[in-house]
Amino acid sequence: MTHVIITGGSSGIGFALASLYAARGARLSLIARSHDLLEQARTDLVRASGCNAEDIRLEAADVAAEADLLAAIRACEFAFGPCDILITSAGIVEPGHFEESDSSAFRRQMETNFSGTVHAVRAVYDGMTRRGRGRIMMISSGAGLIGIYGYSAYCASKFALHGFAQALRFEARPFGVGVSVCFPPDTQTPQFQRELASRPPQAATIMGTVRPWPANAVAKRIANGIERGRFEVHFGATLFLLARFGPAVRPLLNWWFDRAIARADDPDAHNRGVSKRQT
Ligand SMILES: NC(=O)c1ccc[n+]([C@@H]2O[C@H](COP(=O)([O-])OP(=O)(O)OC[C@H]3O[C@@H](n4cnc5c(N)ncnc54)[C@H](OP(=O)(O)O)[C@@H]3O)[C@@H](O)[C@H]2O)c1
């Protein structure tokens, strides 16, 4: 049986992926901090997919704490055998203007989204390269393709994942290990609901035009990307084009975003061609 380890598997995109792999008869290891949320996820998975509760292992651990995460992943592999697929979905977002976000907010997002992914990969990588097989899927974000107003820490953490995945892909490939990264758009999850409450209006003006995706549609595309051995997985034409041609069209995008941000700052600003934050 395929053993799939999912960090952040108790909620949102990670949970949708767990549902999908449970329905395919995989053995699942779910890792997150809240034990209660993990238990609830297992109950829901068993009810929805009819899988056995014994085929779902739960480990409460913080991905930012490397030793704890390593111990959790070791326990999962001891119980269910070597990891065939690792999906790193654990992540947090704390929107806010740079000058209002203190260093701890930056640290939390970097340590969870970036270092937490590196820790999970490190825990399975050695075994995968020795066995000559395995797949790793990192969950970045559309915010890992383009900077977004009010998301400086989050964007930094998600851009970092892209660089990590690009470099690791070259090292892992000769050993038969596949490394992938995906860039989901706004997705209907508990995190997205929480995030909306603190999303700056300037960011809402830019991102509000995109309808959020259902989590199961995002999960399907990610699982499909894993199956086909895709390095990058994109969602929708806009994000695909942004990934392929972003650097070339960035001056145009910057111009368009500046205007949208100025309008959100001050609805009359675009008539005057100035932003309130600049005055
Ligand atoms: N939703 C979107 O619009 C969207 C868009 C693009 C990318 N993403 C990315 O997709 C991933 C999943 O997001 P989501 O929207 O599904 O969020 P979610 O519903 O809040 O789920 C996040 C999961 O990560 C776990 N988690 C958070 N911090 C953790 C930590 N330090 N250690 C271990 N587990 C941790 C949470 O459980 P505990 O809190 O119990 O630990 C939960 O299981 C994230 O990486 C996010 O950045 C989301």
Model pTM score: 0.94
Task: Report whether 128 contacts 84 (CB < 8 A).
Answer: no
- Domain that includes residue 74, residue range: 3-200+210-240
Q: Residues 217-239: pLDDT tens digits?
A: 999 999 999 999 999 999 999 88
Minimum CA distance residue for ligand 1 atom 14: 12
HSE-up of residue 134 (Cα within 13 Å, Cβ side): 27
With respect to residue 274, please indicate whether it lies within any of the assigned structural domains: no
- Å from CA of 9 to ligand 1 middle: 8
With respect to residue 253, please indicate whether it lies within any of the assigned structural domains: no
- Please work out whether the CB of residue 192 comes within 6 Å of at least one atom of ligand 1: yes
The question of whether 151 is a catalytic residue gets the answer: no
Chunked into runs of 10 residues, the chain (279 residues) has average pLDDT values of: 97 98 96 98 95 96 98 98 98 94 95 98 98 98 94 97 98 98 96 89 79 96 98 93 88 87 66 42
Residue 238's contacts (CB-CB under 8 Å, 6 or more residues apart) are 210
Provide the pLDDT for residue 272: 43
With respect to residue 171, please indicate whether it lies within any of the assigned structural domains: yes
**Number of domains composing the chain:** 1
- Å from CA of 1 to ligand 1 middle: 26
What is residue 55's three-state secondary structure?
Answer: helix
Q: Tell me the sheet residues that pair with 29.
A: 5, 57
The question of whether 158 is a catalytic residue gets the answer: yes
- CATH code assigned at 169: 3.40.50.720
With respect to residue 251, please indicate whether it lies within any of the assigned structural domains: no
Helix (H) or strand (E) holding 159: helix 152-172
